Structure 1
Amino acid sequence: MLRLSCHCGQVRLELATRPDYIHACNCSLCAKSGARWSYLHPCDVTVAGPTNRYSRSDKADPAAEIRFCARCGSTTHFVLTAAAAAKFGNGVAGVNMRLADEDDLAGLELRYPDGRAWSGEGAFGYVREARILGAGAGLD
Structure 2
Amino acid sequence: MALKLSCHCGAVRLELARRPDFVHECNCSLCSKTGARWAYPDPGEVSVAGETHGYRRTDRPDPGAEIRFCPACGVTTHFVLTESTVARFGNTMMGVNTRLADEADLAGVELRYPDGRAWSGEGEFGFVREARVFE
TM-score (norm 1): 0.95
1:25 is paired with a residue whose SS is: coil
Match of 2:32 in 1: 31
Q: Which amino acid aligns with 1:132?
A: V
Match of 2:112 in 1: 111
Write the deviation string for residues 22-55 of structure 1: whole angstroms up to 9, x where unpaired. 0000000000001000000000010000000001
Alignment of 1:1-140 (within 5 A): 1-134=2-135
Whole-angstrom distance in 1 between the partners of 2:21 and 2:83: 26
Shift of 1:11: 0.1
Whole-angstrom distance in 1 between the partners of 2:18 and 2:104: 16
Shift of 1:88: 1.2
Write the deviation string for residues 52-109 of structure 1: whole angstroms up to 9, x where unpaired. 0001000011001000001000000000000011111110010000000111010000
Whole-angstrom distance in 2 between the partners of 1:74 and 1:41: 22
> Which blocks of at least 5 consecutive residues in structure 2 are unaligned?
none
> Which blocks of at least 5 consecutive residues in structure 1 are unaligned?
135-140
Q: Which amino acid aligns with 1:66?
A: I
Q: Which amino acid aligns with 2:120?
A: S
Structure 1 segments, 4+ long, off by >6 Å, are: none
1:83 is paired with a residue whose SS is: helix
Match of 1:137 in 2: none
2:104 is paired with a residue whose SS is: helix
Whole-angstrom distance in 2 between the partners of 1:123 and 1:90: 20
Shift of 1:17: 1.1
Q: Which amino acid aligns with 2:129?
A: R
TM-score (norm 2): 0.98
C-alpha RMSD of the superposition:
0.5
Whole-angstrom distance in 1 between the partners of 2:68 and 2:21: 22
